[in-house]
Structure 1
Amino acid sequence: MSDVISKATMLAPSQFAFTLDANRPVLSNARNLEAEMGVEPHSHPRGQLLWAAKGILRVQSDNAVWVVPSTHAVWLPSGCRHQINCETHAHLRNLYIDPSYRVRVQDTQVVMVTMTPLMREMVLKLCQNTSMEPAKYFRLGLSAIDELDTLDSVNTYLNAGSDPRLGRVIQLLIKKPQAEYTLAELAQGAGASIRTIERLFKAETGQTYRQWRQRYRLLNSLERLTQGESTTGVAHSLGYLSVSSFSAAFKALFGCTPQEYAQKSVQATR
């Protein structure tokens, strides 16, 4: 994982992620990040449910990237190294699960999950009520673990590869997803030739640079649709010549049209 973002914008992870105590199965933490801020690369012994109640997160592990809107969260198993970035203001709400409790045993690597209305409310309750009676907090935490086990996983991520030159290009794209970098500019910033970057994308991600970039933009469209931006506006901003071509690409990746996704997102937050 390559870190080319200014350290002045990067925060240390919460201390709760490193607290081992089987008598406290769930610890919670609320943290608001300003635009262009993030959390430095790290791993921790507690598993983590990472969710932004507001805003969009970009989570990177050693070999993959996730774009996470407020309708979804990321489950980070114990010991998985990761980094968090946000382009806009984000309200992070985290649950940290003690490793003595088995949760989502089928997921040994980072995975994106769909938040249910019940999961949303339990996370908010645990994060807002730090003065809750310990016995009540304990019981609510166990219920949250049960609900976490039922969340559907979503196979929407981007391979990031391991070559440091490719890592520098991907970090630039993550930091400025709306920027119109040319491949020549990205290659220069990574200290490599255009041909080398093209080869690395294909060899390490299984996609061409153009395919990777387009998939990343589609992932970034999720939050904009959730916030009520029109399908037409999103399609044109992503460079599609028609709404129908954008809808077809969106459905191929997510299994539903942009309009259907927006409707589901509104229903999920009620």
Structure 2
Amino acid sequence: MKCGLTEKAESQFVDTIEKEAYVWREKNWKHDDYEHIHHRAQLSFVEDGYQYFHIDQKIYLVPQYHVIWVPSGKAHKITSEAQTVNLTVFLFKSVFEDEFYQNVQVFAVPAVLKEMLLYASKWNKSLIENEEQDIFFKAILKSLPNFCKESHSLEIPVPTDNRLIPVCQDINSNFKYNMDIDSLAEKAQMSVRSLQRIFKNETGITLQKYHQLTRILKSIELIDTQQYTLSEVAYKVGYQSLSAFTSSYFTVMKTKPKLIKN
């Protein structure tokens, strides 16, 4: 059983719970290494650590104090190299009809929503009918679109064109260094101009943006280890100064990098 759902077969979860919505809070979250699907909409709040959600040829980063909304029936796989991942997961049987609820959303948790999510944890794993809980959870659900401001900044696209896979692999392996666009074009067996055009069409972002996202994701992983100063992290992911790293980090994360306190 995971999050109250019974796994009848690998990747297939059966929902036998009558409640409209409930919460499942768990420390030291253990990740499965395969894609799975269930028929409840899911709101996951990362209290500590970070997670990657692999959904529809995209990888979504969900760092500490962020949430991800996953619609019902959407296949997904979750991975993380974080030392510890503490999660609070809300599962909803039905949702409102707004377009927001039909798509994957990732966004930082504002103070008000954070307090609401933490307060709701008092009903952790409770499957008993509770009127206050039902009203409170519906209020959270209804307010989500208003809390979501920028839901795509942490989305890492995965191209379907096989010619671009070596390009992504090269960037992921050599993110510390400046991109050699000519070398990448050679790997894709196309001209530089064609590579830039096709990559943008396939992923929705430029090669330069992909490179930047990769660096920032790696920095989040390094910060999570609590082994390095921010200046050391900046150097390890390819920035020549802390100020350049901070600026790039802020562009992606909408907040400045900071070390994690125990």
In 2, Cα distance between equivalents of 1:164 and 1:95: 36
Equivalent position SS for 2:44: strand
Q: CA RMSD in A?
A: 4.1
Counterpart position of 2:5? 15
Q: Displacement of 1:144 after TM fit?
A: 2.6
Q: Is residue 22 of structure 2 the alignment partner of residue 27 of structure 1?
A: yes
> By how many angstroms is 1:60 displaced?
1.5
Identify the residue that residue 102 of structure 2 maps to in structure 1: 108
Distance in 1 separating the partners of 2:175 and 2:147: 36
- Residue 194 in structure 1 maps to residue 193 in structure 2: no
Residue type matched to 1:69 in 2?
A: P
**Equivalent position to 1:212, from 210, 213, 222:** 210
The one-letter code sitting in structure 2 at the alignment partner of 1:116 is P
Helix, strand or coil: the match of 1:33?
coil
Whose radius of gyration is greater, 1 or 2?
A: 2
Query: Once the 2 structures are TM-superposed, how far is the Cα of residue 210 of structure 1 from its aligned partner?
Result: 6.2
Partner residue, 2:157? 159
Per-residue deviation, residues 32-61 of structure 1 (Å, max 9, x unmatched): 325xx4463123321110122111101111
Q: Which runs of 4+ in 1 moved over 4 A?
A: 11-14, 163-170, 179-182, 196-203, 206-211, 222-230
Contact 2:3 2:24 survives alignment (8 Å): no
**Are the aligned partners of 2:166 and 2:187 in contact in 1 as well (CA < 8 Å)?**
no
Distance 1:201 1:44 in 2: 32
Contact 1:166-1:201 at 8 Å conserved across structures: yes
1:92 equivalent among 73, 87, 93:
87
Task: Tell me the amino acid that sits aligned with residue 92 of structure 1.
Answer: L
Structure 1 pair 113/202, CA: closer, same or farther in 2 (3 Å)? closer
CA distance in 2, matches of 1:237, 1:80: 36
- The alpha carbon displacement at 1:75 in A equals 0.6
Q: Identity of aligned pairs, percent?
A: 21
Q: Give the aligned length.
A: 234
- Give me the TM-score of the superposition, normalised by structure 1: 0.66
Structure 1 spans left out of the alignment, 5+ residues:
1-10, 183-192
Q: TM-score, normalised by structure 2?
A: 0.68
Name the counterpart of 1:66: 60
Shift of 1:159: 1.4
1:71-82 → structure 2 map (5 Å cutoff): 71-82=65-76
Q: Using the TM superposition, give the Cα deviation of residue 168 of structure 1 relative to its aligned residue in structure 2, in angstroms.
A: 9.4
Q: Secondary structure at the match of 1:41?
A: coil
Q: In the TM superposition, what is the alpha-carbon distance from 1:224 to its structure 2 partner?
A: 6.0
Alignment of 1:253-264 (within 5 A): 253-255=252-254, 258=256, 262=258
In structure 2, do the counterparts of structure 1 residues 142 and 207 end up closer, same or farther at CA, with 3 Å as the change threshold?
Answer: closer
Task: For 2:121 and 2:67, locate their aligned partners in 1 and report how far apart those are by CA, in whole Å.
Answer: 15
